[in-house]
Structure 1
Amino acid sequence: MNSGLVWAVALSCLGLTGCAAATASVSSKDTIVVGVKDDQPGLGLMERGSHRGFEVDVGTYIAEHMGAKHITFRTVRSDNRERLLNAHTVDLVLASYSITPDRAKLVTFGGPYYVAHQDIMVRRPENRIRGVRDLAGRRMCQASGSVSTERVVIGLGIRPTLVPASSYSECVGRLLAGKVDVVSTGDLVLAGFAARYRDRVKIINAPFTDERYGVGLRRGDIDGCEGVNRALTTMYQDGTAARLLSKWFGASELKMTTSVPEFEGCS
């Protein structure tokens, strides 16, 4: 190899991922650490010392399909998912992680494993809010690290009164306490809370965006991304996805999609 080529290779290894990191795919690991939420009923909730939910089960399915001998779970939040991935604290993230262009600059996304739709949850007596345009002037909870509020305020130009919170579980607590009027995010997130508090809250079933929930991997892990997509394809084809969606969200009466989502592609 000539000196110019050696220098070019050396420079390429100084990039964001580095040569060593690029070759350390999650698909080759015996132990896989999956980052999930611990406060979202139906998706990822810590109960009796264990993480439980749809995303926990999907993460387990993916890791087993990749051949992992050991699978562990670690709690992540919306505002630290990228940091924990790139610090090698977790290997995969399944945490209502909507795929966006800005996030795709920081991590590689497999999937999506589900295409949710942003919707609105209100207290059950509420009948004046029938769609996203009715959010103007309403007290709307803003969960830290989530892009859902931006879709309303920036994307649609609607001006609710924003009430900050650390998480969607805190948002739902504020809704139940009457401190906010609405919580708006992906319907799969809302469905878990709606199933748990079905006598007190409701989803208005007026979706206005697509929320492509992706599996986060370290930036540049193409082998891992392709392994995730193969696992997800099998999960939908063998009926596991339909069974898990019914298991975790059937009580919410949300109409769910059970066909294989269109993947982003690994690059």
Structure 2
Amino acid sequence: MKLHKASAAAAAALVLSLTATACGSGDSGDDGDGGGKITIGIKFDQPGLGLKKPDNTYAGFDVDVATYVAKELGYEAKDIVWKQAPSAERENLISNGDVKFVVASYSINDARKQKVDFAGPYFLAHQDLLVRSDDSSIAQAADLNSKKLCSVTGSTSAQNVHDKLAPKAELLQVGGYSECLTGLENKAVDALTTDDSILAGYAAQKEHQGKFKLAGLKLSDENYGIGLKKGDTALQTKINAALKKMESDGSWEKAVKANFGPAKYQNEPAPSITEGS
């Protein structure tokens, strides 16, 4: 009887051991989240790039890129846990291991590379102006002199235009881009400035189609990269390979047209991969 109990206990221990091993092998050893899931940081409030919709689904070019990359890493769309990644929190989310990587209109620059590594770039954006479709008076930044320029509080893009290109422009800073769009539509302001990809995302929204246009000024170069933990060269290499495949098989161009097409956005070609090379 005692022998039987001992055998049963040993068998149970063996089953538990095998179960634990199986769970461990299902986690791929790469995402750190367990259960075969991967957590990715995106914006929740940028139409065309990263937007959480009322039905709790997610849409945008960054979402499409992240989903494609995740699949190349071995994760289906259902395995992705989306985490909001506000601009000020992106480095912390990566460094703390709260996300595996961040795809959130994340411009590559030297200051950020002190804290995190990047894969890519996967998109080249430019600072631009959004104006009303029927307004032909703004063809260059200098035309903003004596006009009202809107952007969000703390935006460096609006300050750059004001300080360097149109010092006589009246700079209005508000809490969110939607307030600028309302002001633009109501003629309370004359232009909105930020990255052209963000502007195109707003202009492409169903309720805004036909109302606004991009000036096409290319006031800066913004190379969007995928942020990841510093020193994770293995993941960087895998993501770069996924981005190259996305461009070569046509998925990148398809995602650009789907998310920005209604705004008649003239996007740049997919940029060459420079990070980690």
Give the TM interval when normalised to the shorter protein.
0.7 to 0.9
**1:28 counterpart SS class:** coil
**Structure 1 position 248, deviation (Å):** 1.3
Q: Distance in 1 between matches of 2:41 and 2:81?
A: 9
Q: Which residue does 2:58 correspond to in 1?
A: 51
From 188, 191, 214, the counterpart of 2:200: 191
Counterpart for residue 5 of structure 1: none
Per the normalisation by structure 2, the TM-score is 0.77
Partner of 2:272: 262
The answer to whether the 8 Å contact 2:103/2:225 transfers is: yes
C-alpha offsets along residues 112-171 of structure 1, whole Å, 9 cap, x if unaligned?
1111222110123322211122233433233356543354346x3543433223443443
More helix by share: 2
Deviates more, 1:212-221 or 1:54-63: 212-221
Letter in 1 for 2:38: I
Kept after mapping to 2: 8 A contact 1:118/1:187: yes
Q: Say whether residues 1:102 and 2:111 are aligned partners.
A: yes
Structure 1 pair 153–83 and aligned structure 2 pair: CA distance change class (3 A)? farther
Aligned to 1:22: none
Q: 1:87 to 1:172 in 2, by over 3 A?
A: farther
Q: Residues 106 and 27 from structure 1, CA distance in 2 versus in 1: closer, same or farther, beyond 3 angstroms? A: farther
Separation in structure 2 between the aligned mates of residue 86 and residue 179 of structure 1, nearest angstrom: 42
Secondary structure, in 3 states, of the residue corresponding to 1:183?
A: strand
Instruction: Describe the SS at the equivalent of 1:80.
Output: helix
Q: CA 1:53/1:136 → structure 2, altered by over 3 Å: closer, same or farther?
A: same
| Corresponding pairs, count | 240
- Greater gyration radius: 2
Cα RMSD (Å): 2.5
Q: TM-score, normalization: structure 1?
A: 0.79
Q: Contact 1:39/1:169 (CA < 8 Å) preserved in 2?
A: no
CA contact (8 A) 1:40 1:169 kept: no
C-alpha distance in 2 between matches for 1:56 and 1:253: 20
Deviation at 1:244, TM superposition (A): 1.0
Q: 1:205 aligns with which of 216, 228, 250?
A: 216
CA distance in 1, matches of 2:118, 2:154: 17
Runs of 4+ aligned residues of structure 1 deviating over 6 Å after TM superposition are: none
Residue 81 to residue 163, structure 1, CA distance change in 2 (3 Å):
farther
Q: Are the aligned partners of 1:108 and 1:220 in contact in 2 as well (CA < 8 Å)?
A: yes
Distance 1:158 1:91, change over 3 A: farther
Report the 3-state secondary structure (helix = DSSP H, G, I; strand = E; otherwise coil) of the residue aligned with 1:120. Answer: strand
State the distance in 2 between where 1:232 and 1:132 align.
34
State the partner residue of 2:246: 235
Question: What does 1:1-267 align with in structure 2 at a 5 Å threshold?
Answer: 28-29=30-31, 30-47=36-53, 48-68=55-75, 70-144=79-153, 146-153=155-162, 156=164, 158-159=166-167, 160-196=169-205, 197-258=208-269, 260-266=270-276
5+ residue gaps, structure 1: 1-25
- Relative distance call for 1:201 and 1:132 in structure 2 (3 A) is same
What secondary structure is seen at the aligned counterpart in 1 of 2:275? coil
Identity %: 35
